[in-house]
Structure 1
Amino acid sequence: MASLLFRVGLASARRPVAVVLAWLLVLGALGAAMVSFQRPLSNEFDLPDSEFSAVLDELGEQIPEVSGGTGTVVLHSPDGFTPAQREAVDQTTATWRSLPHVTDTVDPFRTQGQLDAAAARLERGERKLIEGQAAYDRGARKLSRLRWLVGEGERDIARLQRDNPDDLTLPKRIEGQRELEATLADGERQLAEAREKLAAGEEKFTDGAVLLGLGDGIRMVSEDGTTALVQVRFDKSMQEISPDDLARFPDAGERLGEAGIEVDYGQELVQTTEVGGIGEVIGLGVAAVVLLVMLGSLVIAGLPLVIAFAGVGVSLMGAMALTHWLEIQQMAPVLGAMLGLAVGIDYALFIVNRHRRQLADLAHGNVQISRHELRHSIALATGTAGTAVLVAGATVVIALAALLVSGIPILVQMGLLAASTVALTVLVALTLTPALLSLVGRRAVPRQAKAVDRPRRDGWAEKWVDLVTRRAPAAIIAVVLLMGVLAIPAGWLRLGLPDGGSESPDSTAFQAYERVAEAFGPGANGPILVSATVESPIAESDLVATQARIGEQVASVGGVSDVLPIGVSDDRRTIAYQVVTVEGPSADSTVSVVDELVGPVTERVAADGVDLGVTGQAVANIEVSQRLAESLPLYLALVIGLSLLLLTVVFRSLVVPLLATVGFLLSVAASFGVIVAVYQWGWLGGIFDVHNPGAVLSFMPTLLIGILFGLAMDYQMFLVSGMRESYVHGQRAREAVRSGFSSGAKVVTAAALIMISVFAGFVFSHMTMVRPIGLGLAVGVLLDAFLIRMTLTPAVMSLLGDKMWWMPVWLDRLLPHLDVEGSALVDKQRPARRTAQEREDALVQI
């Protein structure tokens, strides 16, 4: 491999203009393809075989009007809505109804009027019921008097028939008695009918009262009349609607602002696809400063940046061109850009640094380096450092591609796009870097290379590794304790999907979220959708009673605020409910509500022949988290297994891979702990713009494990390989640790600082889903590079000595041999390099 890369580097160095032009043509062609074929990125989220999707699909077949997506527009008028403002609302909602995919808009004032009218009707019904009860009571009293009269008449007639049977008035009395008995019988019948009607009325009123009481907190206009909700219903889920179509809503709503209405759009209507921001720019600026400080030349420092942008440009422009045929999720390019920039700068830096070190060895004071030697050094740097870059890049690619085992399309897509970005960046680094170094020529020679007579002093790397190896037990204990403390919050990790409360405070999505929470309660920001299907069609007369009976079961769950029926299927077998929780959609109590609904409540109503289905954002959060939790052990086992196998092959040791893997797990746990403390508990929220702590992004653990694994193995490769090289060339184990550390620490430090800078720039990204990933990666690289690879690793290796490099003979024979550092290539090329240098020295002397 090293020999092949040597030839690639030499060919690029000999024809630098052709290589640069070739990559420019590739970029130009992909740019043209992107402009021609690009389509909007998708926000669609699909979880195959998910319960919440199945419920939603079934509900869509039964009650189509409630199954599509719903967007919320919050209107606010501090002094209440005037007639002119209501007219503006009517005109705007009519315009919104004409937009693509919109099926209806719910007028808040008309709907609130209907809700208020329902309460008024119930109140009138209650009055009629009271009046009916009073009339029934009066009739019952009259009937009771009539029964007494009939009884008295019967006794009088019986007495006359016994004492004076010849009394002439007896026939009339008997006839009158019969009429009275007939009247009593008719009264009894009428009273029984009244009793049945009154009982039916009471039952109907009770059912209506129960049903109205279950949803009496649901409003479309706030009680003070200053805030109103406009619900926009779509024929598709919100994730399936393009951002371009959604962007028409604020444009069509401009007349509302002109009418003096404050308008805020819910998160689902303002999907953010913007990537670049001030944070990302600052991160790249810091990376540029690190490169300038390390390399000491503006031109040389710019090379890694050019390589990184070229690699990311090729990958992302190609991906955007593919959107013509494939739907690409909006987070995938962000993750690809984040990783591509970081590894692109680092990989180019490793090759450039190796080339400059070789030139420093060749310089020898003021000796002029020939063009042949420059090209030879470029090729040698590509063959040696380039081999390590190739292996490190392959590690990252494999770790990201392994996301296929998750079975979740969005994760697979993000993993594959990020993996392709890293792969292309490696290709660019191995071909374009040698070409640019050839064009730079002798300006790549370090300035300090001429000061050969200046006594060499130990730098910070030598002092640090000396301190760590001399105080190895203390260093090990300190690192493990610190990482353990940082990892403590990880035990409370709670996963979910971000809502409007996670957005920036100055965003319209956050303002809408806050206004809804203040005016209608936090749960109104993410209602749960419940479907109830019965075996037989529900009779019209029994519909309210059935709705109330099932609704009571749903409302009995702690944490439920309101339950409102919102639709009935045409065959009257399925009822849809909107369930509003006390707290927001990502709160712990809402998760408990969903658990109760899909568990005990579903089982309880199933006994009555009711099939309950639950869907909505909170349900999706739980299912996604469960699915990811199920796939995480397999993914982690795959990553760890890959780590052990790869490092065993590279370092010919059993202990080094175990140490590297344990260190990686410590870094991941500590990173999780920091993320929980910041984004879930709100610690340092003012610094990281976390104003509404909540659940952490569901995808974060899987993504973080995959990416950090690849990056950790990068630093392991570049740092420990130098130690192994020194050990193989005859140094004792402890000396090899020191010399290997000293040769690689500076470039690894610079690479880590660059990655930290790039990742930290995404902590303040416009996309809130990216922020915890950016912080987790920045913290993970910081901890892994400086505490695990540069402190714990040399400390443990110095303690174990030769035992670090033990491997059974049979296993050593079985495993393939990879010359990662290209030592064989260096040994092979050294005589040729020495001869070229001697010839150059002779020419200089002449």
Structure 2
Amino acid sequence: MAKFLYNLGNFAFTKPKRMLIGWLLILVAVVAATIGTGVSFNGDMSIPGTKSEKAMDLLEKKFPAGDDEGTIRLIFKAPKDETLEAKKVKHKINETIKEIKKDKAVKQVTDLYETFTISKDKKIGYADITYRVKADKVKESSKEKVLNSIKISKDAGIQTELGGSVTFSEIEVGGISEIIGIVFAFLILAFTFASLLVAGLPILTAVIGLVIGVMVILITSNFVDMSAFSLTLAVMIGLAVGIDYALFIISRYRQLLAEGYNLNEAAARAVGTAGSAVLFAGVTVIVALCGLVLVDIPFLGIMGLVGAFMVLSVMLVSLTIVPAILGLLGDKVSPSRKNKLFSKLQPKKEKKTMGWGRFIQKHPGKIMLGVILLTGLISWPALHMELGLPDNGMKGKETTERKGYDLLAEGFGKGFNGPLVVIIDASQADKTMKSKSIEKSSKLLEKMDGIKQITPAIPDPSGEYAMLTILPRSGPEDKETKQLVKDIRNVSSVADTKFLVTGSTAVNIDISDRLSEALPKFAGVIIGFAFVLMILVFRSFLVPLKAVLGFLMTLTATLGFAVFVLQDGHLAPLFGIPAAGPLLNFMPVLVTGILFGLAMDYEVFLVSRMREEFLLSHDAKKSVISGLQHSGRVVTAAGLIMIFVFASFIFAQDLIIKTMGLTLAFGVLFDAFVIRMTFIPACMMLLGRANWYLPKWLARLLPHIDIEGESIAQKEKKII
């Protein structure tokens, strides 16, 4: 592998124009294809086969409600000391609804005074706008019409908020988050290389890979159901790893120049050595993300595949465009060319390269114990982790969706925002007793605790099924509601009838349960695969074992931090989290895949350099210090870049993106600095030569994978 990449680097460096023109043609092709096909994000987050999905399918079959039309709920609250039935208030609400009806896209608007959708105290009520198209097809002009129309009621002192299936805030790709991440990455690179020119190269190549990846994903959205969040997640990952991969190759190139290699040889060797580590690390990330397909959850599998393709795109660009640009720039990237300001800010060489390694050498046992205790402390909150899906109740308090959510809870109870739809299945009951069986089953539900209101059972034309709606006393994300769903499903019905529960709340509960079950299976598969792969690469048992152990420590600490902040609400205002609530139900599985791939990145970059030194000196402890000396600073820079890129997404408006950015930023922080730069070197110091032990009989059987550049070690073209 190293020899192949050496030749690739040599070709790209010596014939840069050919390489760049080739990539330019690819870029033009994908941009043209994107313009021609357009974009279509329409994926949902359902899981076929769950109890709630089966109940939903039965509901649609037995109680057809026509097309799945988009709705906007208008929520009104009367001014102080007045009610919605006051003449002036009623007039303004009716005037608002009349104005909205002028939109030809509107199918109907309910009248809250005719449908009696008003709270008992007459203070809060709602009316539903139904459109002729699905929620995601409602035009911006229709949304603007609603926003302009409700000014009538608002100007009259009537609080008017919005809810429903039509969203007024979409997930955006390309904005303040990406810009902030790139700015911080540039500053870190400028400090690392002490060169503004060199600092811009990893960002330039990452953006090229990012644009190509985004274009291909946009094209694919027309043929595969995916959500816009899949693209945002891919951009988040691609930007971070793309900058890091280019950073490692350029850093190694400058090191080789400092050692005396000529420009051409340094570029070829950089791609052959650091590029091998990049390729292996990238493949590990890709495998981890593709592994999400194994959990058998469609939307999660698509997210993994989209993210994996983005990593592939930026990785290929790093391995080819980076040496090509280096070829064009010539000696302008030489380590001797430094920016005076940034070079003054850099610490002295001895301090920055040797101090940390010597500290670890002196206190390896204490460091390991300290890291284990710290991990346990941070991981502790994960023991009471709860999963769910953010709803309007977890949005910012300033948003109309959150205000509307709170008004409905105030007027109609917490459970109004999470109704349960129950189907009574009497298909197996005696033909002459079906109606009585449904009646008895309905009364059985009325006796259950935790129910505020239950509607009369409505039978289908066959009389074998009946539907009713339950309003719980508790909110959609409360433990009591989840328990109520389980109680209804487990209740002993009468006369061969059974209960099926669906609705958004039940669907979220089932998705969370399925994802919780999938996490151990998924983690076990990717960890097992990586363990075998690292045995092949590092030709050792203990190095892969420590890598896996370190990842498990990172994962538990990351989940513990997420529960501490997002679920328990500690430090939430500091990170702009509007409300505490359960963790995003697919976060643990997604974070496991992403963090595992990124953790193996740092493991490969750091430990491969240690093994390279060990093969030369056969001194285990010296190789650890030398590995930290040569790769520690660049791994630190790479970790900081990834942290800032992920952390920049905390500024996003969408709660899902915000929480994912925060969680991944902490995960990288913990893994890069606590585990890879501290715990792993301490372990290797204690174990000494045992780190690299592998039985001879197994060594003979295993194929040789060269990522340290042994196959090109004999190529000596130094300038003497």
TM-score of the two chains, using structure 2 as the length reference: 0.92
> Cα gap change, 1:285/1:450 in structure 2, threshold over 3 Å: closer, same or farther?
closer
For the pair 1:337 / 2:235, whether they are aligned, the reply is yes
User: Can you list the C-alpha shifts for 1:165-214, whole angstroms capped at 9, x where unaligned?
Assistant: xxxxxxxxxxxxxxxxxxxxxxxxxxxxxxxxxxxxxxxxxxxxxxxxxx
Could you tell me how far 1:25 is from its partner in structure 2?
A: 2.7
Could you tell me how far 1:412 is from its partner in structure 2?
A: 0.7
For the pair 1:784 / 2:671, whether they are aligned, the reply is yes
**Letter aligned with residue 433 of structure 1:** V
For the pair 1:91 / 2:98, whether they are aligned, the reply is yes
Could you tell me how far 1:316 is from its partner in structure 2?
A: 1.2
> Cα gap change, 1:440/1:566 in structure 2, threshold over 3 Å: closer, same or farther?
farther
More moved, 623-632 vs 812-821: 623-632
User: Can you list the C-alpha shifts for 1:101-150, whole angstroms capped at 9, x where unaligned?
Assistant: x6x544322110xxxxxxxxxxxxxxxxxxxxxxxxxxxxxxxxxxxxxx
Could you tell me how far 1:90 is from its partner in structure 2?
A: 3.9
CA distance in 2, matches of 1:746, 1:671: 24
Whether the aligned pair in 1 keeps the contact of 2:96 and 2:152 (CA below 8 Å) is no
CA distance in 2, matches of 1:711, 1:580: 44
CA distance in 2, matches of 1:379, 1:813: 30
1:592-611 equivalence runs, <5 A: 592-600=483-491, 604-605=492-493, 607-611=494-498
For the pair 1:697 / 2:584, whether they are aligned, the reply is yes
Q: Give the corresponding residue for 2:162.
A: 265
Q: Give the corresponding residue for 1:381.
A: 270
Give the RMSD, CA atoms, in angstroms: 2.8
Whether the aligned pair in 2 keeps the contact of 1:60 and 1:68 (CA below 8 Å) is no
**Letter aligned with residue 547 of structure 2:** A
For the pair 1:590 / 2:481, whether they are aligned, the reply is yes
Whether the aligned pair in 2 keeps the contact of 1:74 and 1:229 (CA below 8 Å) is yes
Could you tell me how far 1:733 is from its partner in structure 2?
A: 1.1
Q: Give the corresponding residue for 2:297.
A: 408
**Structure 2, gaps ≥5 residues long:** 341-346
> Cα gap change, 1:419/1:733 in structure 2, threshold over 3 Å: closer, same or farther?
same
For the pair 1:653 / 2:540, whether they are aligned, the reply is yes
Paired residue secondary structure (2:153): coil
For the pair 1:565 / 2:569, whether they are aligned, the reply is no
Q: Give the corresponding residue for 2:612.
A: 725
Paired residue secondary structure (2:260): helix
User: Can you list the C-alpha shifts for 1:421-479, whole angstroms capped at 9, x where unaligned?
Assistant: 1111111111111111122221111137999xxx9751234111111121111100100
Q: Give the corresponding residue for 1:804.
A: 691
Paired residue secondary structure (1:47): coil
CA distance in 1, matches of 2:477, 2:388: 7
Q: Give the corresponding residue for 1:511.
A: 403
1:239-388 equivalence runs, <5 A: 241=134, 243-245=136-138, 247=140, 249-261=142-154, 262-266=159-163, 268-270=165-167, 272-362=170-260, 373-388=262-277
Which consecutive aligned stretches of 4+ in structure 1 deviate over 6 angstroms post-superposition? 448-451, 536-539, 545-548
CA distance in 1, matches of 2:418, 2:111: 19
Whether the aligned pair in 2 keeps the contact of 1:15 and 1:435 (CA below 8 Å) is yes
Whether the aligned pair in 2 keeps the contact of 1:538 and 1:572 (CA below 8 Å) is no
Q: Give the corresponding residue for 2:51.
A: 51
More moved, 86-95 vs 321-330: 86-95
For the pair 1:109 / 2:120, whether they are aligned, the reply is no
Overall identity of the aligned pairs, in %: 33
Could you tell me how far 1:249 is from its partner in structure 2?
A: 4.5
> Cα gap change, 1:650/1:530 in structure 2, threshold over 3 Å: closer, same or farther?
same
User: Can you list the C-alpha shifts for 1:680-726, whole angstroms capped at 9, x where unaligned?
Assistant: 11111111222321111111111111111111111111111111111
1:818-829 equivalence runs, <5 A: 818-825=705-712, 827-829=713-715
Whether the aligned pair in 1 keeps the contact of 2:357 and 2:625 (CA below 8 Å) is yes
TM-score of the two chains, using structure 1 as the length reference: 0.79
Paired residue secondary structure (1:829): coil
CA distance in 1, matches of 2:398, 2:301: 33
CA distance in 2, matches of 1:565, 1:771: 42
Whether the aligned pair in 1 keeps the contact of 2:8 and 2:268 (CA below 8 Å) is yes
- The structure whose residues are more often helix, as a share, is 1
CA distance in 2, matches of 1:448, 1:302: 15
> Cα gap change, 1:725/1:25 in structure 2, threshold over 3 Å: closer, same or farther?
same
1:617-766 equivalence runs, <5 A: 617-766=504-653
Q: Give the corresponding residue for 1:75.
A: 75
CA distance in 2, matches of 1:656, 1:722: 13
> Cα gap change, 1:478/1:66 in structure 2, threshold over 3 Å: closer, same or farther?
farther
More moved, 467-476 vs 248-257: 248-257
Could you tell me how far 1:795 is from its partner in structure 2?
A: 0.8
For the pair 1:429 / 2:429, whether they are aligned, the reply is no
CA distance in 1, matches of 2:617, 2:189: 33
Paired residue secondary structure (1:231): strand
Q: Give the corresponding residue for 2:343.
A: none
More moved, 468-477 vs 256-265: 256-265
> Cα gap change, 1:89/1:434 in structure 2, threshold over 3 Å: closer, same or farther?
same
For the pair 1:445 / 2:334, whether they are aligned, the reply is yes
Could you tell me how far 1:645 is from its partner in structure 2?
A: 0.8
> Cα gap change, 1:450/1:272 in structure 2, threshold over 3 Å: closer, same or farther?
closer
Could you tell me how far 1:97 is from its partner in structure 2?
A: 8.3
**Letter aligned with residue 642 of structure 2:** M
> Cα gap change, 1:577/1:426 in structure 2, threshold over 3 Å: closer, same or farther?
same
**Letter aligned with residue 165 of structure 2:** E
**Letter aligned with residue 5 of structure 2:** L
> Cα gap change, 1:503/1:276 in structure 2, threshold over 3 Å: closer, same or farther?
farther
Q: Give the corresponding residue for 2:424.
A: 532
Whether the aligned pair in 2 keeps the contact of 1:338 and 1:758 (CA below 8 Å) is yes
More moved, 511-520 vs 522-531: 511-520
CA distance in 2, matches of 1:235, 1:456: 69
Q: Give the corresponding residue for 1:483.
A: 375
Q: Give the corresponding residue for 2:125.
A: 228
Whether the aligned pair in 2 keeps the contact of 1:678 and 1:684 (CA below 8 Å) is yes
1:198-209 equivalence runs, <5 A: none
**Letter aligned with residue 252 of structure 1:** K
CA distance in 1, matches of 2:582, 2:708: 44
CA distance in 2, matches of 1:10, 1:751: 25
1:76-225 equivalence runs, <5 A: 76-79=76-79, 80-81=83-84, 82-91=89-98, 94=101, 98-99=105-106, 105-112=109-116, 220-225=117-122
Could you tell me how far 1:77 is from its partner in structure 2?
A: 4.7
**Letter aligned with residue 375 of structure 2:** M
CA distance in 1, matches of 2:179, 2:171: 17
Matched residue count: 702
For the pair 1:419 / 2:419, whether they are aligned, the reply is no
Paired residue secondary structure (2:118): coil
CA distance in 2, matches of 1:504, 1:17: 50
Whether the aligned pair in 1 keeps the contact of 2:135 and 2:165 (CA below 8 Å) is no
> Cα gap change, 1:588/1:630 in structure 2, threshold over 3 Å: closer, same or farther?
same
Q: Give the corresponding residue for 1:201.
A: none
Could you tell me how far 1:92 is from its partner in structure 2?
A: 5.1
Could you tell me how far 1:582 is from its partner in structure 2?
A: 1.7
**Letter aligned with residue 418 of structure 1:** G
**Letter aligned with residue 466 of structure 2:** I
Paired residue secondary structure (2:120): coil
For the pair 1:32 / 2:32, whether they are aligned, the reply is yes
Whether the aligned pair in 2 keeps the contact of 1:106 and 1:230 (CA below 8 Å) is yes
> Cα gap change, 1:707/1:404 in structure 2, threshold over 3 Å: closer, same or farther?
same
CA distance in 1, matches of 2:640, 2:475: 38
Q: Give the corresponding residue for 1:20.
A: 20
CA distance in 2, matches of 1:243, 1:299: 44
Paired residue secondary structure (2:75): strand
Paired residue secondary structure (1:531): strand
**Letter aligned with residue 286 of structure 2:** V
Whether the aligned pair in 1 keeps the contact of 2:193 and 2:338 (CA below 8 Å) is no
**Structure 1, gaps ≥5 residues long:** 113-219, 364-372, 839-846
Could you tell me how far 1:254 is from its partner in structure 2?
A: 3.6
Whether the aligned pair in 2 keeps the contact of 1:9 and 1:383 (CA below 8 Å) is yes
Paired residue secondary structure (1:577): strand
Whether the aligned pair in 2 keeps the contact of 1:756 and 1:782 (CA below 8 Å) is yes
**Letter aligned with residue 88 of structure 1:** E
Could you tell me how far 1:26 is from its partner in structure 2?
A: 2.0
CA distance in 2, matches of 1:506, 1:725: 56
